[in-house]
Each structure stands twice: as C-alpha cells, then as structure tokens.
Amino acid sequence: MFEVIATEAQASRTVAGWARVEAAATARRLAAMVVLLDQAFAADGSADREQWYLDNWGAVAAEIGAEQNITQGAASHQLLIATALRDRLPHLAALFADGLVSYRVASAITTRTALVRDRDAQKAVDKAFADVLTGWAPMSEEKLNTTIDAIVAEHDPHGVYRTKLTAKGRNIQFDYDGSGMATMFGTLFATHGKALEKRLNLLAHTVCPGDPRTVEQRRADSVHSITHALDYLPCLCGGNDCPGPKTPPKGNAVVYVVVNEDTLDDESDATKAQDASLDGDPDPLFDKPLSEITTCG
C-alpha cells in the first residue's frame, strides 16, 4: 500500500508540495475546532454550562479529541493554538492556511506570544512574524524559541515567554570542594546572562598574546576583575615590554600564615616539592603515545 501511495505522490507532487498541503490541511483542521467552540458558546443555555463540571471548552475538547483519537488534554492544547491564531495572530494564520508555515512553527509562536496582552503589541508582533517567517531557515527548537522571543522583546519586553518556576527560581550558587577552587552555577534572566557573557569575553581579550592562559581560563579570571571594578584583566605574560595591562587591583587582602619553624625546614613538605602550573592547556593524560602504553612486550 505504501508503495502505491509513494508512486502517486511522485507523480503528482514533490515532498515540499505535500508538506505545504499538510500544513494547509492542519490549519483548516484547527479552524474547524474554533467553529465548534463558537457554536458551543452560541447555543442555548451556554452560559449555564460554564458552571458545569465539563464547561463549553471542555466539552468541545472532548469532542474533537474523540474525533482525532487523542486525549482531551491534547485536544485542548490544539484548541488553544486554534483560538490564538484566530484572535491574536491573523497574519500568521493566513500564512499557515496557505501552507507556508509548519504546524511546529505556528505552535511555537502561539505559545511564546501568549503573554503579549496589549492589543497594539499583539498586532505589531503578528505583523513582524508575517514579514519574516517565509524567509526563515530550518532551526533547532532552542534557536526557534530564541528567535521568536527576540521578535516579541522588540515590541513587548514584558511579554517574553518565561516559565514562572524558572524565573522565580533564579539564583547563583557556589560549591567549594576544599581544593582552593570554587564551582559557580545558577540561573539568570537571559538578558543578564548575555550581558555577563559579553563582559567576560571583553575582559578576557584585554591581555597580550603572550599571556599563558587559555581563553576559558581568562574568562574565569575575569570574574576577579569584575568584582574589583576593573575594565581590564591583568596580563600574566611576565614581559617588561608587555603592551597589556599588568597592574594588579588595589585593595587585595593580605593573608598571614603562621607556621612552626620546623615546618619551614622540612624539605619533604609536598607543597615545596610540587610546582603546579595553573595556566595554559591541561597536561596530556599520558607522556607516551597510547599505542606504546597499551602494547605488551
């Protein structure tokens, strides 16, 4: 059976053509859902049903769910998309009806514009998407959401979609493992994260080419510059003719270590015997080729 369908498809349309037909058919299916919803609200006794356990929305969701052999919850989600296209995003709906926008993109846009409440902002956002959608290249889920949010932010910064739990749970935490290093992790608003990332990158590139640290290490050390209100990262090249800034920040704390005299004379002290290098690329795991290490004989 599939071979017959494939032969018919090859004779009549390209894959792109069938994709457009599919999108247009999906748009009409969603539009039919809205018609059912409007009929439910227009029927006699509609206002009374809003107080029932299964209100108008629930009744329509149950009906279209049964017709598509999907759950009521899945049908309700589709109904949300359908009403959003009709009420908030008519330009997007028109492109969708022509098969020029996929259901995936239409669904993402309706979801991530749900917080845009101002009517003028809704119209501006809808028009902005209509102007650029047909020129979009394929995107990953993350890239698609980021692109949508950027357009929303241009017209309604407060309407950018964020989950409440993630936004309310933003924080910065530190983990100290006793080795003298700390691990920092947390969740920020995307705008704050971008600003911090940009600042660290700028500071990391204020040193001269002779600095022994990797870019990642300089980015990490740039936190020190931020906490001391510096607009540069002190260079560690050690050269007298270094064009980069080398002056350490003022006001550093001085730590006095009190030890016994015999401790200072102990040549077996591991801290005196070890000269650890903290800058530059990590040392290789093996000092010989792997083939020599794993070959017997």
Cα dihedral 140→144→146→150 (10° resolution):
150
Half-sphere exposure of 136 (CA within 13 A, CB side): 20
Query: Residue 182: which H helix or E strand, with range?
Result: strand 182-187
Q: Burial code of 199-216, b = ≥16 C-beta within 10 A, e = fewer?
A: bbeebbebbeeebbbeee
Tell the residue number behind the tokens 């394929």, with chain if given: 138
Query: For 152, phi and psi rounded to 5 degrees?
Result: -60, -40
Write down the pLDDT at residue 246: 60
Angle at 264 between CA 262 and CA 265, to 5 degrees: 65
Within a 13 Å sphere around the CA of 224, how many CA atoms are in the beta-carbon half?
Answer: 15
Phi, psi of 207 (to 5 degrees): -85, 170
Give the phi and the psi of residue 81 in degrees, each rounded to 5.
Answer: -65, -40
**What burial class does residue 77 get, using C-beta atoms within 10 Å of its C-beta: 0-12 exposed, 13-18 middle, 19+ buried?**
middle
Token pair, residue 224, equals 């020190």
The whole-angstrom distance between residue 209's C-alpha and the CA centroid of its chain comes to: 33
What residue spans define the domains of the chain? 2-165, 167-272
Residue type, position 104, single letter: R
Question: pLDDT value at position 54?
Answer: 74
Under a CB-based contact definition with an 8 Å cutoff, are residues 175 and 182 in contact?
yes
The alpha carbon dihedral of 125, 131, 132, 134 has a sign of positive
Contact 99, 24 (CB under 8 A): yes
Q: Which long-range contacts (CB under 8 A, 24 or more apart) does 137-140 make?
A: none
Q: Give the angle subtended at the CA of 41 by the CAs of 39 and 45, to the nearest 5°.
A: 110
Residue found under tokens 């016994």: 260
In tens digits, the chain (297 residues) has pLDDT values of 556 555 555 655 688 888 999 999 999 999 999 999 999 988 887 777 766 767 889 889 999 999 999 999 999 999 999 999 999 999 999 999 999 999 999 999 999 999 898 999 999 999 999 999 989 989 998 899 999 999 999 999 888 877 666 677 888 998 988 888 899 888 888 788 889 999 999 999 999 998 999 999 999 999 999 999 999 999 998 888 888 766 555 544 455 555 555 554 544 444 343 344 667 776 665 566 555 555 554
Residue 219 is predicted with a pLDDT of 93
Measured CA to CA, the distance from residue 103 to residue 230 in angstroms comes to 49
113 token code pair: 């514009």
Q: What does the block give as tokens for 229?
A: 């209100």
- What's the pTM? 0.55
**Nearest-angstrom CA–CA distance, 145 and 153:** 12
d(CA 266, CA 179): 22
CA 116 to chain centre: 20
Contact 110, 89 (CB under 8 A): yes
